[in-house]
Amino acid sequence: MNLLIIRHGQSEADILKVFEGRADFPLTELGLQQADKMAKWVTGYMKPDKIFASTLIRARQTAEKLSAATKIPIEFTDELMEWNNGLIAGLPHAQALEKYPPPSQKHPHTALYNQESEIEFRTRAEVVLSKIINENPPDANIAIVSHGHMITRLYRSFLCLPMVSNLSVYTADTGIHHWQIEIDAPSNRKIVFANSTCHLRT
């Protein structure tokens, strides 16, 4: 199985310098252009058999570009949404940090300010990745369009890391990651490349 993990393009929240998370901002004009370029590149590199995407508008718009280019329908799922950042969603960075300061020590089960705890977030990633891997043919090419923090949790799940892990993976706007699972040995998992943005250089 091949998995292409794709982050959405630039959103209006990036321009406004606000915490995004569950705040539902659309793509900017640049973000739409990034998504177009990503879709064209993916179509030439490895046309997916299925496309899964977060239901948040920035991911939806990015996935729609890929769907239009490949003629593959999208399966939207709330499980691929970004971290639920609760009361800080949509607030300017300085205002959010003043009004809802992060604790000096945060435990994995802690859920402040109506936020999702780290354990809840990781569990959500575990569930959605397991479903995608196990409910599709072992030779399938799958595209997943999601968000930066969720992609890090998907990495931790894919690599079977502990529930509490310090691994963090940066993903640029429309950055693409290619993972493989061997058909005859599903426990053998490979990172082919990470955070490729070669499509943006064309």
- For residue 164, pLDDT over 80 is answered with yes
Pair type for strands 176-181 and 189-196: antiparallel
Helix (H, G, I), strand (E, B) or coil at 23: coil
Amino acid at 105: Q
Q: What is the pLDDT, as a whole number, of residue 119?
A: 95
Q: pTM (2 decimals)?
A: 0.96
pLDDT band at 106 (very low <50, low <70, confident <90, very high): confident
Tell me which of 3.40.50.1240, 3.30.70.3420, 3.30.830.10, 3.40.640.10 is the CATH number of domain 2-201. Answer: 3.40.50.1240
How open is the CA angle 124-126-128, to the nearest 5 degrees?
A: 70
Question: Residues 61-81: pLDDT tens digits?
Answer: 999 999 999 999 999 999 999
CA distance 100 to 120: 20
Neighbours of 146 (CB within 10 A): 28
More confident residue, 109 or 104: 109
| Domain locations along the chain | 2-201
Q: What is the pLDDT, as a whole number, of residue 185?
A: 83
CA distance 152 to 58: 18
Question: Residues 114-145: pLDDT tens digits?
Answer: 999 999 999 999 999 999 999 999 999 999 99
Question: Residues 21-44: pLDDT tens digits?
Answer: 999 999 999 999 999 999 999 999
How open is the CA angle 171-33-141, to the nearest 5 degrees?
A: 55
